[in-house]
Amino acid sequence: MYKLFASYFIYSGLPTNISYNWNYGSTLGIILILQIITGVSLGMHYTANIDLSFLVVEHIMRDINYGWLIRYMHANGASLFFLFLYLHIGRGIYAGSYIYPRYKLWISGILIYFLLMGTAFLGKENSLKRKINIRNLSNLNNNNMKFKYIKVYNNLHLIETQLKICNENRHKSGVYLIYNNINNKFYIGSAITNRINTRFRNHCIHGTGSSLLKKSIDKYGLENFSFYILEYYPGFIHKENLKKNHLELIKLEGNYINVLNPEYNILISTNYSLGYKHNKETIEKMRMNYSEERKMRIGDLNRNKSLSNETKNLMSLKMKKRYLESDYKEFLSKRFSKPLILYNKDGTIHSEYNSIRELSKEFKSCTKTINKAIKYNSMFKNIGYIKFKTK
């Protein structure tokens, strides 16, 4: 065995004009061995399931020791393999390695090349061409809808559920569904990477999403709604970039809308309002709201009216002085301040305050920080959430 090894690697005769270009073949062998080792290592953890594949890749990247390195080595190794393969073929053509008597070796190399090409493209499939499978939804109020889902969250009014939605959907994108357990109507939407929780809060907490959904939540209460994850998208989608991945996600959302026909979705298209038509009643209201009669009535309020110079001077003097008066400052503070309630994480009341300024003094915090905590319903000082006190 040693003699055979030595005859090829130690005592084999080589031409005097040999260069580094003759190393491409051995480099391909090294890359192939690395591809086999990394591929087998990844195969031990990967599962070819349409619902679990993305989660498995996340598991490999985050939980497996050096899993990120093995995955990147395998992904980039495939590109390097074909790069050196074409360099190897080019060197053979340039040096005339296909000429007799070495043509048989050249033919065997070409056969290996075609096998590699077939292997590289084996299993290539467009994920958006698959059909949307359906199964029975959990029996919530005997609903008759049937659709497939990955996760479901109930009791959306509880802070624990809202935190669970936030924590379990970090760095993920996909299609979601908001379901009314009373009348069995629902809304379907999509979210780019790390925005599922944001979309949930916009629709269910802040009411800045679908107007139909907002009215329904106000009528039935958030506790009677459920939040479903229909499908995670297996890829990273940058914020509103409308690149390939984003367009594929929008198309996937459109497939669900076409199949399930959600009642709370207003637009017939998933990414723009082209093709949507208002009904006759809405058009008539818009026409009345911007009628010529209304425009003239508003214009006549101050048309041809002017103030005397004495009145203007008095108004100017009053405006300059009033912000210097402490009593007026106190009046403005009370007039435009709203009472606040600071809740603990479990929903109990921590403390109450008459204004944002009073709360900022108590915790020595910036008013901007408090306003952001109220606007985005985010955690304040790791204590809980701030809400305006309702009458």
Tell if the pTM clears 0.95, that is, is over it. Answer: no
How does pLDDT run across 246-300, given as a tens digit for each residue? 778 888 888 888 888 888 887 655 544 545 566 788 778 777 777 777 778 877 8
Q: Residue 83's pLDDT is what?
A: 93
> Which domains does the chain carry?
21-122 (1.20.810.10), 151-260 (3.40.1440.10), 325-388 (1.10.10.10)
Q: Give the per-residue SS3 of the chain.
A: CHHHHHHHHCCCCCCCCCCHHHHHHHHHHHHHHHHHHHHHHHHCCCCCCCCCHHHHHHHHHHCCCCHHHHHHHHHHHHHHHHHHHHHHHHHHHHHCCCCCCCHHHHHHHHHHHHHHHHHHCCCCCCHHHCCCCCCECCCCCCCCCECCCCEEECCCCCHHHHHHHHHHCCCCCEEEEEEECCCCCEEEEEECCCCHHHHHHHHHHHCCCCHHHHHHHHHHCHHHEEEEEEEECCCCCCCCCCCHHHHHHHHHHHHHHHHHCCCCCCCCCCCCCCCCCCCHHHHHHHHHHCCHHHHHHHHCCCCCCCCCHHHHHHHHHHHHHHCCCHHHHHHHHHHHCCCEEEEECCCCEEEEECCHHHHHHHHCCCHHHHHHHHHCCCCECCCEEEEECCC
Predicted confidence (pLDDT) per residue in 184-227, tens digit? 899 999 998 888 999 999 999 988 888 889 999 999 999 999 99
pLDDT in the model for residue 137: 34
Q: So what's the pLDDT on residue 324?
A: 66
Which of 53-62, 66-75, 104-113 is predicted least confidently? 53-62
Residue 33, pLDDT above cutoff 90: yes
